[in-house]
Amino acid sequence: MDRRAKSCRCLATLPVPSRLRKAGPNEDPVLPDAPKHLLLVGGGHAHVIVLEAFARRPEPGLRLTLVAKDRFSPYSGMLPGHLAGLYGREEMHIDLERLARRCGAALIEGEASRIEPDARQVCLGSGEVLAYDVLSIDIGIVPDLTGIEGADEHALAVKPIGDLLPKWDRLLADAERGQGPRRLAIVGGGIAGICLAFAAASRLRHTGASITLIGAGPSPEINAGMARRVGHALKRHGIALLSGEPVVAIHRHGVTLANGDSVAADAVLVSTHAAPPRVLHEAALEKDGRGFLAIGPTLQVLGWGNVFAAGDCATMEAHPRPKAGVFAVRQGPVLARNLRRALRGEPLEAYVPQRDHLILIGTGDGSAIGGRGRWLSFEGRWAWRLKDWLDRRFMRRFR
């Protein structure tokens, strides 16, 4: 056993054919007639689609295991609507246990703490070790709070969403009792930050709380027309916008900007840059310059025939795209087909993600601002109805 394998306490190791144990990068993972174990790590957007695909069309002779931190996987598209009080918690969560049951998969509620591709095994925080024939990773991102002093202690990080929700509930309960924040700051001027600002304003308006959105500059994710519409809507909703100076520190009484200015706040929500989850740091897999898994057009991690990755934790080296759920969702069906093909020993299909995508930002008042590409922008109640219909239609697939 090599040094890294020793570090995992093997409580339950699934049998791995000895020929597979020695297989290295770029080797064909498929052994005809061998029992096959597909291990999905993370219950992200791409993996729920994979599970749905295997439920619809089971793969004979396949053992399927899903490792996910939580039984309920949040759908981020509905998160701002949930924070605004428009959707119940169960409406924005996918029940992974039910989904796993539908496709005969075993769900292990736990956290992958070590990925050992040479040994073809994944170690869990519990000490359990899972061997695999084919591995797929869809574990999202963690917030990158490194450049913001005090953020670990004083900020409410938006991701992981599972950790945010109980904190948001407490904040709301305090607000209802008149003991909540009088001033809320949201750090991060990207789409997520903008959505959160509208959601918070709509939910906290009656408490008299003020909302400030702080972005380091204009969001590169939205075109000029949308930016104009967002600017007008923020004003209409009484949300102050500070743009141009990054936040460098968060403390008990607010935030400090790079130019030394302070913004007073009793609570600070942070939705800034993404960082790769810790389990990827030490995994001996190909990464991009920021530490996200580097994948090719077949969604295989570069150099590894039997390791796939999708969603925010991965970067398509040939076609980089922003980290957005819509890309994880689009990768889902391709990932499902390629996992099936890899298990069968068939050639894989290549995938080129679309260049741009429809963006819809709910403004928390039954209206939405939308756009696509460089030129198209629009807004109205119909845009919210469209977003609501698209999100509910997506969630219906897993009910």
Ligand X SMILES: Cc1cc2nc3c(=O)[nH]c(=O)nc-3n(C[C@H](O)[C@H](O)[C@H](O)COP(=O)(O)OP(=O)(O)OC[C@H]3O[C@@H](n4cnc5c(N)ncnc54)[C@H](O)[C@@H]3O)c2cc1C
Angle at 35 between CA 29 and CA 37, to 5 degrees: 65
- Minimum distance from residue 22 beta carbon to ligand X (Å): 26
Give the relative orientation of helices 161-176 and 191-204 as an angle to the nearest 10 degrees: 30
Task: Report d(CA 47, CA 41) in Å as an integer.
Answer: 8
List Cβ neighbours of 237 (8 Å cut-off, separation of 6 or more).
Answer: 198, 201, 202, 211, 363, 364, 365
Q: Which is nearer to ligand X, 30 or 168 (CB)?
A: 168
Q: Which is nearer to ligand X, 77 or 371 (CB)?
A: 77
Per DSSP, 91 falls in state G
Q: Which is nearer to ligand X, 193 or 305 (CB)?
A: 193
Within 13 Å of residue 103, how many CA atoms lie on the same side as its CB?
29
Rounded to a whole number of angstroms, the distance between the first and last alpha carbons of the chain is 43
Beta bridge partners of 149: 249
- Minimum distance from residue 39 beta carbon to ligand X (Å): 11
Whether the upstream peptide bond of residue 15 has omega within 30° of 0, thus cis, is no
Q: Which is nearer to ligand X, 31 or 109 (CB)?
A: 109
Cβ–Cβ < 8 Å for 299, 50: no
Q: Which is nearer to ligand X, 256 or 271 (CB)?
A: 271
H/E element, 5 = helix 3-6
Residue numbers at the binding site for ligand X (CB under 6 A): 41-46, 67-70, 73, 76-77, 79-80, 111-112, 138-140, 158-160, 192, 195-196, 271, 277, 279, 311-313, 323-326, 328
Q: Which is nearer to ligand X, 112 or 151 (CB)?
A: 112
Q: Which is nearer to ligand X, 23 or 195 (CB)?
A: 195
Q: Which is nearer to ligand X, 34 or 109 (CB)?
A: 109
Task: Report d(CA 53, CA 337) in Å as an integer.
Answer: 9
Q: Which is nearer to ligand X, 126 or 251 (CB)?
A: 126
Cβ–Cβ < 8 Å for 345, 322: no
Task: Report d(CA 165, CA 143) in Å as an integer.
Answer: 15
Q: List C-alpha distances in Å: 75 to 44, 64, 130, 387.
A: 9, 23, 27, 13
- Minimum distance from residue 213 beta carbon to ligand X (Å): 13
Task: Report d(CA 201, CA 70) in Å as an integer.
Answer: 29
